[in-house]
Amino acid sequence: MDLSKLTAFLVMVLVALTAPSFGSAQNVVVGGKNFTEQLLIAEITSQLLKARGFAVTTKTGFSTSGIRMEQEARLVDVYWEYTGTSLLTFNDVREPLGPEEAYDRVAELDARKGLIWLSPSRVNNTYALAMRRADAAARGITSISDLAARIRQGEVFEFACNTEFYIRPDGLLPLQRAYQFSFRPEDVVRMETNAVYDFLSKGTSAEVGLVFSTDGRVAALDLILLEDDRRFFPAYLLTPVVRKDTLDKYPELVGYLNALSAKLDNPTIASLNAEIDLQKRPVDETAAAFLSSSGLIQG
């Protein structure tokens, strides 16, 4: 091979080695759990990252333990978790901590596992026990302590919750221990999260349901959230959690996700949740409208 042909061959090899390939594209897997708020935030995140040039795969429908396993197995790059969930469920921290302390603790503990907590949003989607407002007023119940006192006195209440809460370390049994009461086993009804709202809207006056504090159906159904006066539930700040190796590859994700986090608070997410659950607006349309109205994506 003469020198000119050798030079041309080496140039071709160099171009092949340095040219971007499909496999080196900015591929990110966005995950989400199996309820409205999580489906929504996963879709918002996916649309935002696609607009920033990423090739995005969206995987939703996971349980809390399931999505954490996916992320630790490197099958999910980013999803939005709640500080209280990581504190209790993943890291078994039982001491009462304020919102900032809880965030700092889970950020430190999860960083050891290669999971990085970015800036928290102002969404605090804590668990809550709810009753219909008129029924709670008629019984003089405004707090979980009030409910516990009624049950200790022999009053019977049906309680609806999802299966996850029934078995969580920040779930039903620890809650009952903290407030020193117990629903009768036959009065605890396990169902899908969405079905709890139907249960509360259609049943009798002696009913209590587990809800999420940012769910738009709380206001729409005129439910009252019973005060957690013993502060059993920690803060559940909705926060993007990203694998460290993903951030090492794509450090620009920090800016994109923190900008999104800064746009989210309880009224905003409750309104978006209501659009999906009550107005039956598709998740992708709701996400696109929010991104446009918030200025995160120029329409």
CATH number at residue 54: 3.40.190.10
Q: Are 277 and 194 spatial neighbours (Cβ–Cβ below 8 Å)?
A: yes
Please check whether residue 79 lies inside any domain of the structure: yes
In this predicted structure, the answer to whether residue 13 has a pLDDT above a threshold of 80 is no
In this predicted structure, the answer to whether residue 142 has a pLDDT above a threshold of 70 is yes
pLDDT in tens, 24-48: 468 999 999 999 999 999 999 999 9
Please check whether residue 230 lies inside any domain of the structure: no
245 and 116, same structural domain? yes
Q: What is the mean pLDDT of residues 158-181?
A: 92
CATH number at residue 150: 3.40.190.120
Domain count, the chain: 2
Both tokens assigned to 22: 């499909």
Please check whether residue 12 lies inside any domain of the structure: no
C-alpha distances (whole Å) from 89 to each of 110, 176, 188, 293 are 12, 18, 22, 35
pLDDT for res 3:
43
251 and 190, same structural domain? no
Question: Which of 196, 225, 254 represents a domain boundary (last residue)?
Answer: 225
Please check whether residue 289 lies inside any domain of the structure: yes
Q: Range of 49's domain?
A: 17-124+235-293
Q: Is 10 exposed, middle or buried (0-12, 13-18, 19+ CB in 10 A)?
A: exposed
| CA 217 to chain centroid | 17
176 and 118, same structural domain? no
155 and 34, same structural domain? no
The model's pTM: 0.82
284 and 258, same structural domain? yes
Q: What is the mean pLDDT of residues 210-239?
A: 94
80 and 61, same structural domain? yes
